[in-house]
Amino acid sequence: MNTPPTLWEYRLQPEDSGHKYLSILLHKFHFSVKLLQRLKQGERVWVNGNFSYLTARGKEGDMLSLQLFSEEEASIPGEDLPLDILYEDDYLLAVNKPVGQVVHPNRRYPTNTLGNAVIGHWERKGENRLYRPIHRIDRNTSGVVVIAKNQFAHQQLAWQLERGHIHKRYHGFVEGVVQENQGAIDDSIGFAPNSFIKRQINPDGMSARTLFRVLHRYTSATFLEFILETGRTHQIRVHCEGFGHPLIGDDLYGGTKTFFDRHALHSSMYAFLHPATGLPLVIRAPFPKDLRGLIIKLRDLEI
* CA distance readout (Å), 147 to 62, 68, 74, 85: 31, 16, 14, 11
Final residue belonging to a domain, choices 68, 90, 105: 68
Asked whether residue 82 is domain-assigned, the answer is no
pLDDT of residue 210: 97
Buried b (16+ CB within 10 A) or exposed e, 282-301: ebebebbebbeebeeebeee
Instruction: Determine, yes or no, domain membership for 278.
Output: no
Q: Grade residue 71 by pLDDT with cuts at 50, 70 and 90.
A: low
What CATH number is associated with residue 31? Answer: 3.10.290.10
> For residue range 160-169, what is the model confidence (pLDDT) as tens digits?
988 889 999 9
Residue 48's φ and ψ, nearest 5 degrees, are: 55, 35
Average pLDDT over residues 39-66: 88
Cα–Cα distances in angstroms (integers) from residue 136 to residues 103, 104, 189, in the given order: 6, 8, 17
User: Which member of 80, 84, 90, 138 is catalytic?
Assistant: 138
Mean pLDDT rounded to a whole number for the chain: 91
Helix (H) or strand (E) holding 65: strand 63-68
Structural domain total, the chain? 2
Q: Are residues 58 and 181 in the same domain?
A: no
Digit-coded pLDDT (tens) for 211-229: 999 999 999 999 999 999 9
Q: How high is the pLDDT of residue 5?
A: 62
Task: Establish if 73 belongs to a structural domain.
Answer: no
Query: What's the rounded mean pLDDT across residues 238-265?
Result: 95
Alpha-carbon distances, residue 226 vs 34, 99, 144, 207 (angstroms)? 35, 19, 14, 17
Q: DSSP class of residue 253? A: G
Q: Which residue has the higher pLDDT, 158 or 284?
A: 284
d(Cα 131, Cα 31) in Å, to the nearest integer? 20
Q: Report pLDDT for 6.
A: 76
Question: Residue 33's pLDDT is what?
Answer: 87
Q: Which of 22-26, 73-77, 232-236 has the lowest mean pLDDT?
A: 73-77
Q: What is the per-residue pLDDT for 112? A: 96
* Known catalytic residue at 138: yes
Give the range of the structural domain holding residue 24, as residue numbers without chain letter: 6-68
**Cα–Cα distance, 34 to 29 (Å, whole number):** 14
Is residue 184's pLDDT more than 80? yes
CB 187, CB 157: distance < 8 Å: no
For residue 186, is it within any domain? yes
Structural domain contains residue 174: yes
- The three-state secondary structure class of 159 is helix
Number of other CB atoms surrounding residue 51 within 10 Å: 9
Kindly report the pTM of this predicted structure: 0.85
> Are 173 and 64 found together in one domain?
no
Instruction: Find the range with the poorest average confidence among 21-35, 100-114, 227-241.
Output: 21-35
Residue at which a domain ends, from 52, 68, 84: 68
